[in-house]
């Protein structure tokens, strides 16, 4: 099986090598540290890389201040370094700089080894950090667009939701087994989880703003699939022989035919209310089985209304 080298791996390798070369060229002490910092700073998104760079500068400033106190009080030894860690780690965690603990502490060991806290050595540490984190930030400024992938995910998930609706409609008249819908539900839930992760990464690559359109869209579809899961259980206990299921069946088929990104669900909501009204005006059930069947049909329609309401709410949010 051939080795797969991803974009992040390439960026990390290049940044680490270039970081060491730059540090060597400008005569910094411990130039390899610039490469290690770059290695630890390359992330999956522009926003996280920028945040990491800022927090690591703050983390090193805090670490240097604490190290200055304890190295001056206790000397440049292992005990002083241990006390520094006892103070620095909790403070870094408290102020949201936990990612900077390893990098800052490695740079602090330079003071320990050199037994000095001179301005030139402190400047050396900060320069190493700026080189490593800066190169990672530069590398992360290039992120391939995920728009095409996300649109493809939209279409793929919508097709599976359509298949679910068709499957439930078929089951209502006894022509299909519900197991196919069960399998479809498992697949679409898995696909939506993956799609939401991609949408999240897409949003995090917007450095100067947000793009939550795809996140919101897949979240909306996930809520709808949760409702479809309940509907799938209901169609299993509804008998087409114990009541008129044609109205519900037609609703499922019509929704599947018209399911799209653009459809706001308003027309479908009105049709659901018409079917509900028709059931209310129908003759009362004559047996317990018919009564239970009618109750399950009502519940199915109410869940279906929830399914449509989720899309209506999403569509209205887009307009604001």
Please write the tens of the pLDDT for every residue from 167-201: 888 888 776 655 588 888 999 999 999 999 888 88
Domain boundary among 115, 140, 165: 140
- The number of folded domains in the chain is 2
Give yes or no for a contact between 307 and 224, defined as CB atoms under 8 angstroms apart. Answer: yes
- Same domain assignment for residues 80 and 173: no
- Same domain assignment for residues 105 and 153: no
239 Cβ partners below 8 Å, 6+ apart? Answer: 289, 293
Rounded to 10 degrees, what is the CA torsion of 80, 81, 87, 90?
-160
Task: Report residue 30's pLDDT band, with 50, 70 and 90 as the boundaries.
Answer: very high
- Tell me, yes or no, whether 44 lies in a domain: yes
Which is higher by pLDDT, 77 or 178?
A: 77
201 Cβ partners below 8 Å, 6+ apart? Answer: 44, 45, 146
Which is higher by pLDDT, 25 or 317?
A: 25
- Tell me, yes or no, whether 70 lies in a domain: yes
- Same domain assignment for residues 41 and 73: yes
pLDDT at 211: 72
- Tell me, yes or no, whether 2 lies in a domain: no
Q: How far apart are CA 214 and CA 204, in angstroms?
A: 12
- Same domain assignment for residues 151 and 136: no
Domain boundary among 122, 140, 158: 140
With a cut of 80, say whether residue 31 has pLDDT above it: yes
Q: How far is CA 19 from CA 129, 156, 228, 280, 316, in A?
A: 10, 42, 53, 74, 49
pLDDT at 317: 86
- Same domain assignment for residues 160 and 128: no
Helix crossing, 119-140 with 101-114: angle to 10°?
A: 150
pLDDT at 242: 47
- Tell me, yes or no, whether 204 lies in a domain: yes
- Tell me, yes or no, whether 234 lies in a domain: yes
Give residue-wise pLDDT tens across range 254-310. Answer: 999 988 888 888 988 888 888 888 877 766 666 777 777 778 888 999 999 999 999
Task: Report residue 209's pLDDT band, with 50, 70 and 90 as the boundaries.
Answer: low
φ and ψ at 103, to 5 degrees? -60, -50
- Same domain assignment for residues 151 and 247: yes
Q: How far apart are CA 60 and CA 133, in angstroms?
A: 12
Which is higher by pLDDT, 119 or 248?
A: 119
- Same domain assignment for residues 167 and 310: yes
pLDDT at 241: 54
- Same domain assignment for residues 214 and 180: yes
The mean-pLDDT minimum among 14-18, 101-105, 170-174 falls in: 170-174
Question: Which domain CATH number covers 304?
Answer: 1.20.120.940
Q: Comparing C-alpha atoms, which of 162, 192, 194 is closest to residue 307?
A: 162
Q: What average pLDDT is seen over the chain?
A: 87
- Same domain assignment for residues 82 and 175: no
pLDDT at 169: 87
Q: Comparing C-alpha atoms, which of 59, 145, 142 is closest to residue 105?
A: 59
Domain of residue 285 covers: 147-319
Domain boundary among 140, 169, 187: 140
- Same domain assignment for residues 96 and 200: no
- Same domain assignment for residues 29 and 91: yes
Q: How far apart are CA 171 and CA 185, in angstroms?
A: 15
Which is higher by pLDDT, 119 or 280?
A: 119
Q: What is the mean pLDDT of residues 148-167?
A: 90
* pTM confidence score: 0.70
- Tell me, yes or no, whether 1 lies in a domain: no
With a cut of 80, say whether residue 240 has pLDDT above it: no
Q: What is the mean pLDDT of residues 21-49?
A: 90
Task: Report residue 39's pLDDT band, with 50, 70 and 90 as the boundaries.
Answer: very high
Q: How far apart are CA 58 and CA 61, in angstroms?
A: 5
Find tokens 């949408």 and name the residue. Answer: 199
- Tell me, yes or no, whether 53 lies in a domain: yes
- Same domain assignment for residues 195 and 275: yes
pLDDT at 246: 81
Angle at 196 between CA 2 and CA 226, to 5 degrees: 125
- Tell me, yes or no, whether 165 lies in a domain: yes
Q: How far apart are CA 293 and CA 177, in angstroms?
A: 18
Give residue-wise pLDDT tens across range 50-73. Answer: 888 899 999 999 999 999 999 999
């Amino acid at each position: 099986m051939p080795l797969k080298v991803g974009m992040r791996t390439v960026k990390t390798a290049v940044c680490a090598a270039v970081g060491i070369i730059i540090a060597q060229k400008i005569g910094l002490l411990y130039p390899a540290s610039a490469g290690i910092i770059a290695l630890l700073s390359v992330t999956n998104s522009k926003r996280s890389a920028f945040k990491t760079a800022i927090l690591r500068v703050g983390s090193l400033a805090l670490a240097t201040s604490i190290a200055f106190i304890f190295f001056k009080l206790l000397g440049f030894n292992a005990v002083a370094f241990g006390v520094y860690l006892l103070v620095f780690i909790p403070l870094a965690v408290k102020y949201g700089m936990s990612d900077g603990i390893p990098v800052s502490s490695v740079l602090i060991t330079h003071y320990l080894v050199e037994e000095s806290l001179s301005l030139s050595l402190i400047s050396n540490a900060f320069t190493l950090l700026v080189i490593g984190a800066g190169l990672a930030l530069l590398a992360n400024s290039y992120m391939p667009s995920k728009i095409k992938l996300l649109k493809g995910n939209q279409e793929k998930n919508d097709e599976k939701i359509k298949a679910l609706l068709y499957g439930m409609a078929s089951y209502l008249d006894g022509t299909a087994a519900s197991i196919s819908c069960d399998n479809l539900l498992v697949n679409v839930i898995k696909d939506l989880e993956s799609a939401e992760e991609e949408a999240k990464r897409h949003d995090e690559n917007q450095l100067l703003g947000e793009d939550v359109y795809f996140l919101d869209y897949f979240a909306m579809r996930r809520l709808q699939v949760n409702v479809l899961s309940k509907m799938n259980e209901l169609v299993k206990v509804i008998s087409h022989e114990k009541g008129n299921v044609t109205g519900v069946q037609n609703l499922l088929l019509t929704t599947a035919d018209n399911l799209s990104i653009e459809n706001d669900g308003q027309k479908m909501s009105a049709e659901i209310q018409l079917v509900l009204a028709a059931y209310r005006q129908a003759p009362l059930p004559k047996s317990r089985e018919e009564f239970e069947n009618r109750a399950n049909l009502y519940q199915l329609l109410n869940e279906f209304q929830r399914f449509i309401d989720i899309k209506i709410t999403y569509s209205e949010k887009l307009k604001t």
